[in-house]
Structure 1
Amino acid sequence: MSNNKRSMFLNVALLLCLFLIISSVESRKLGNGNGKPQCDTVYGIKPANQCTGIMEAFDLSEDEFFAINPNLNCNAIFVGQWICIDGSA
């Protein structure tokens, strides 16, 4: 196979892989019916945000908040981090 054909084949293969990765990520939700939380709406942490203020702003109880954010450490949240504000546990 000539270098041009090989290069064209590799470019098409890479493009196809990229398309498959993007489409699978876009269609995936956090919950999958295996008892794991499903997130329907996310919120990006802003400067000075704290978990308690976010719970109050979105009318979430502490139990609801941590059920949809099971691995969240409120002492280590950072600006730009995405957290779930609506979903099901």
Structure 2
Amino acid sequence: MSTLNKLALLLTLLLIASVAESRFLGYKKATTPAPTCFTPYGVQSGETCFSIKKKFDLSDDAHFSAINPNLNCDGLFVGQWICISGSSN
């Protein structure tokens, strides 16, 4: 086996070992538990986050935001599912 082939083999083994080691050492991305939605609601024409909160008497803005973590109130669209009751874990 030539020196160049041995070097290529050694580099390949080092790369494989480093990838495997990173998996075994627990390099994991942080995860946050997803909220649980008990009652989904489909947005109707002309509705806003404010009108929906008023319609369902949702006075706690922090809880509404927690159960709808990725909701963009400026970009609501008809048929979009939002959560009107749930657990934010």
Q: TM-score range by the shorter chain?
A: 0.5 to 0.7
Higher relative contact order (Cα pairs below 8 Å, separated by 6+ residues):
2
Structure 1 counterpart of 2:67: 68
- TM-score with structure 1 length normalisation? 0.59
Percent identity between matched residues is 52
Structure 2 counterpart of 1:84: 83
**Matches for 1:8-87 after TM superposition, within 5 Å:** 35-60=33-58, 61-87=60-86
Cα deviation code 1:4-43 (max 9, x no counterpart): xxxxxxxxxxxxxxxxxxxxxxxxxxxxxx6321001100
Any gaps of 5 or more consecutive residues in structure 2?
Answer: 1-31
Residue 57 of structure 1 and its aligned partner are, at CA, apart by 1.2
- TM-score with structure 2 length normalisation? 0.59
Q: What is the one-letter code of the residue matched to 1:74? A: C
Between the aligned partners of 1:36 and 1:84, the Cα distance in structure 2 is 12
Indicate the structure (1 or 2) with the bigger Cα radius of gyration: 2
Superposed CA RMSD in Å reads 1.1
Structure 1 residue ranges (4+ consecutive) displaced by more than 2 angstroms after TM superposition: none
Any gaps of 5 or more consecutive residues in structure 1?
Answer: 1-33
Structure 2 counterpart of 1:13: none
